[in-house]
């Protein structure tokens, strides 16, 4: 079992207060807090390693190279991939853009890309661009009444024209897990590739890309207790080899001449142009080690427990609208009746509770939930039932009067 | 300023009233009006503001859209406050409004009901809600002034 009290001691940010209250950080879907071991790994690079990677021929440089490649190995093991299939990027958005840029070149007029209405902008917009340039169509997998993607609905829109399926493993607004493995199997029968946005799944559950058999995956270090500015693009190796990088320059080419002949390195290096955030990659490695030590299964189970505990209490409040009581992860999307989301968020702020108001970048979904904005509380493994109790009390008191009183 | 205007209860009621019954809350779509769509500042507030300015007088201001209490109330109050004013008068009011929002010295009497928003800066991220409609109006005033040149 997890010792949450002990875990919380590793997260210095949790010692902070906000508006005079102990910080209750419920905005983990946006980004996560970092444990000391991650911060230490970043500092260690600056204090003891310091030099560039893939460059010099001296000891320090060799050490940095080894540490950097070890991180790649760590990430590969974490998601069940091979090292050479792991590309370090600046984050999920960069990974998804690279995939759309690279694979989009193989699409032709009339081909179809499948997305859904709950997708994050970073998952759908790059493909909209490809569709526009290539004359492809984008179709959306219909969501069921709860806002979920079901296999039945997926089958309804899958046809021979579909060449790409770009979906989130777990959506950032409603927190539902989609049946990736089954979707990939069906897609492959039709010769389509699956691009899975794991920004909200990799931090919270065990993922194994080989078992799921997705063709591409993307996720961000910062959402899984690692540094910002680092992310992962996973791709099956032959696909990575086949695609072109959208950036060229130092580090990714083997040689070039002035006649315009460029020989790129093999994947993953051909995608890693320029000096990467080395400290970020090393910090990310520490993050993955930290998560693995606790165990992703334990993290997932604990978050589920927290989620169910919260939902049980929140569903008793008649001033709340809960949009996703059956979420598979710790994402709770709700509104306080008759209070605009942003007004309520300011009230939670005065109670020291960090949560997000907004459309969470999934603007398309608003039509489904029939609301212009929602509040989102998103949990992680360092949150506690006591924090949820405080949150539930705050929900009770989030009247329009109290929401306006925060201004006086 | 009367003592009434110091009372948080009253100030809250002013905001509520403008939120529930926003004034000038219908667009004309008249081509003699200038218009601004304010949606890019934050994810949520999404309003249209229209205004008709002729001979250096703000003849009409209207707005519509989806917005929080602060954005709705501040725009509604602005529309009442600036309507009928000369551009010169409007500039003074706008400057005072910003001074108030930024926590500086300002003339309460000029701002009338807008003083209800005097401490919106307590929630730093909401300042943009309190200024979204005002910003639209400032842009349209600038546009009309540039036309005159
Ligand atoms: C589902 C999903 N996809 C993509 C992203 C983008 O991640 P990043 O901002 O790290 O590029 C996010 C983050 O908000 C997300 O939740």
Q: How does pLDDT run across A165-207, given as a tens digit for each residue?
A: 999 999 998 999 999 999 999 999 999 999 999 999 999 999 9
| B8 within 8 A of B114, measured Cβ to Cβ | no
- At B1 the pLDDT is 52
Tens of pLDDT along chain A (408 residues) come to: 789 999 999 999 999 999 999 999 999 999 999 999 999 999 999 999 999 987 778 999 999 999 999 999 999 999 999 999 999 999 999 999 999 999 999 999 999 999 998 899 999 999 999 999 999 999 999 999 888 999 999 999 999 999 999 999 999 989 999 999 999 999 999 999 999 999 999 999 999 999 999 999 999 999 999 999 999 999 999 999 999 999 998 888 878 888 888 888 999 999 999 999 999 999 999 999 999 999 999 999 999 999 999 999 999 999 999 999 999 999 999 999 999 999 999 999 999 999 999 875 555 666 778 787 899 999 999 999 999 999 999 999 999 989 988 888
Structure tokens at A7: 């875990």
As a whole number of angstroms, the distance between CA A343 and CA A48 comes to 47
As a whole number of angstroms, the distance between CA A229 and CA A152 comes to 37
Q: How does pLDDT run across A328-382, given as a tens digit for each residue?
A: 999 999 999 999 999 999 999 999 999 999 875 555 666 778 787 899 999 999 9
Of A220, A230, A360, best ligand 1 pocket probe by most atoms within 8 Å of the beta carbon: A220
Please identify among residues 366-405 of chain A the ones whose CB lies closer than 8 Å to any CB of chain B.
372-373, 400-401, 403-405
Give the atom of ligand 1 at the shortest distance from the alpha carbon of A170: 1
Show the ligand 1 pocket: residues with CB < 6 angstroms. A 29, 91-93, 120, 122-123, 168, 172, 197, 199-200, 220, 231
As a whole number of angstroms, the distance between CA B23 and CA B16 comes to 12
The answer to whether the Cβ–Cβ distance between A406 and B129 falls below 8 Å is: no
The answer to whether the Cβ–Cβ distance between B122 and A401 falls below 8 Å is: no
Query: How close A301 gets to chain B, by Cα (Å)?
Result: 32
As a whole number of angstroms, the distance between CA A373 and CA B39 comes to 13
Query: How close B55 gets to chain A, by Cα (Å)?
Result: 38
- At B43 the pLDDT is 58
Give the atom of ligand 1 at the shortest distance from the alpha carbon of A94: 11
Measure CA of the first residue to CA of the last residue in chain A; give whole Å: 45
Q: What structural domains and CATH numbers belong to chain A?
A: 4-30+295-405 (3.90.1150.10), 38-293 (3.40.640.10)
Whole-number mean pLDDT of chain B?
92
ipTM: 0.79
- At B148 the pLDDT is 65
The answer to whether the Cβ–Cβ distance between A346 and B123 falls below 8 Å is: yes
A19 near B CB under 8 A: no
Say whether pLDDT at B5 is over 80: no
CATH placement of domain B4-147: 3.90.1010.10
Structure tokens at A324: 């996703």
Distance B116 CA to ligand 1 centre (A): 38
């Amino acid at each position: 079992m997890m010792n949450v009290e002990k875990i919380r001691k590793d997260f210095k940010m949790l010692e902070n207060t906000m508006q005079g209250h102990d910080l209750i950080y419920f905005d983990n879907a946006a980004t996560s807090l970092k444990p000391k071991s991650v911060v230490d790994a970043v500092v260690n690079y600056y204090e003891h390693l310091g030099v560039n990677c893939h460059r010099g021929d001296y000891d320090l440089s060799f050490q940095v190279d080894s540490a950097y490649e070890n991180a790649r190995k760590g990430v590969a093991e974490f998601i069940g991939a091979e090292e050479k299939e792991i590309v370090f990027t600046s984050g999920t958005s960069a990974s998804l853009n690279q995939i759309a840029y690279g694979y989009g070149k193989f699409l032709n007029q009339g081909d179809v890309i499948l997305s859904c209405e709950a997708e994050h902008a970073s998952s759908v917009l790059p493909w909209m661009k490809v569709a526009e340039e290539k004359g492809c169509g984008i179709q959306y997998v219909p969501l069921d009444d709860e806002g979920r993607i079901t296999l039945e609905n997926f089958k309804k829109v899958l046809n021979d024209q579909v060449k790409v399926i770009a979906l989130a493993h777990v959506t950032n607004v409603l927190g539902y897990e989609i049946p990736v493995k089954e979707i990939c199997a069906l897609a492959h029968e039709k010769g389509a590739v699956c691009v899975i946005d794991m920004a909200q799944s990799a931090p919270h559950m065990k993922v194994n890309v080989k078992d799921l058999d997705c063709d591409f995956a993307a996720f961000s270090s910062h959402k899984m207790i690692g540094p910002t500015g680092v992310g992962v693009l996973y791709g099956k190796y032959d696909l990575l080899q086949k695609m072109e990088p959208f950036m060229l320059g130092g580090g990714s080419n083997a040689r070039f001449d002035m006649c315009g002949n460029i020989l790129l390195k093999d994947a993953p290096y051909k995608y890693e142009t320029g000096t990467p955030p080395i400290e970020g990659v090393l910090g990310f490695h520490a993050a993955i080690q930290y998560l693995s030590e606790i165990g992703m299964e334990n993290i997932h189970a604990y978050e589920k427990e927290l989620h169910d505990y919260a939902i049980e209490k929140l569903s008793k409040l008649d001033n709340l609208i809960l949009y996703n009581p059956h979420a598979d992860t710790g994402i709770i999307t709700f509104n306080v009746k008759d209070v605009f989301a942003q007004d309520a968020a300011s009230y939670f702020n005065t109670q020291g509770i960090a949560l997000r108001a907004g459309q969470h970048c999934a603007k398309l979904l608003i039509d489904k939930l029939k609301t212009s904005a929602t509040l989102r509380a998103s949990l992680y493994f360092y949150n506690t039932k006591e924090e949820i109790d405080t949150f539930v009390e705050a929900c009770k008191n989030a009247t329009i009067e109290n929401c306006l009183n925060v201004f006086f | 300023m009367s003592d009434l205007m110091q009372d948080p209860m009253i100030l809250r009621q002013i905001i509520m009233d403008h939120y529930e019954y926003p004034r000038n809350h219908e667009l004309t779509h008249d081509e003699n009006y200038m218009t601004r769509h304010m949606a890019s500042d934050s994810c949520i507030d999404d309003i249209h503001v229209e205004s008709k300015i002729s001979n250096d007088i703000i003849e009409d201001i209207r707005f519509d859209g989806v917005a929080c209490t602060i954005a709705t109330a501040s725009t509604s109050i602005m529309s009442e406050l600036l309507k009928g004013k000369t551009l010169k008068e409007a500039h003074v009011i706008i400057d005072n409004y910003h001074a108030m929002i930024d926590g500086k010295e300002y003339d309460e009497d000029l701002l009338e009901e807008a003083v209800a928003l005097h401490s919106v800066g307590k929630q730093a991220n909401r300042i943009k809600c309190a200024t979204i409609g005002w910003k639209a109006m400032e842009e349209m005033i600038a546009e009309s002034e540039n036309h005159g040149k």
